[in-house]
Structure 1
Amino acid sequence: MSVIYLLITISIIVALLFLYAFIKAVRQGQFDDYYTPSVRMLFDDETKQNDNKTNKD
């Protein structure tokens, strides 16, 4: 039974470490990308069409 308490304690510590790393990354702005998602959908088809045109020539 003491092994279960040990494993629960270790898992909570690891979870808190991951939570700390996630909060630190969010505060540093690593997930702030407002430009790329809006532009990606516009230029994705053009690159595929250009590749297809060069392959047909």
Structure 2
Amino acid sequence: MSVIYILITVSIIVAIVFFTLFVKAVKTGQYDDSYTPSVRMLFEDELVKENNKQTKNK
């Protein structure tokens, strides 16, 4: 029965740590850009082609 108390305590501590890290990331602006990821996939092929051309020219 004491193992359950230890596991619950550890899981609550881990949850608090992850929550504080998430709040810190939100406050520092980690998730502010919501437009670029949706558009990035449209231009990904062009970036790959340009990189291939540059490496072939060298």
Whether these two folds match at TM > 0.5 is: yes
Unaligned runs of 5+ in 1: 52-57
User: Highest Rg: 1 or 2?
Assistant: 1
RMSD: 2.3
Amino acid at match of 1:26: V
Name 2:40's counterpart in structure 1: 40
How many correspondences in the alignment?
A: 54
Name 1:7's counterpart in structure 2: 7
TM-score (norm 1): 0.63
Q: Percent identity?
A: 65
Structure 2: distance between partners of 1:21 and 1:7: 21
Unaligned runs of 5+ in 2: 53-58
Runs of 4+, deviation exceeding 3 Å: 44-51
TM-score (norm 2): 0.62
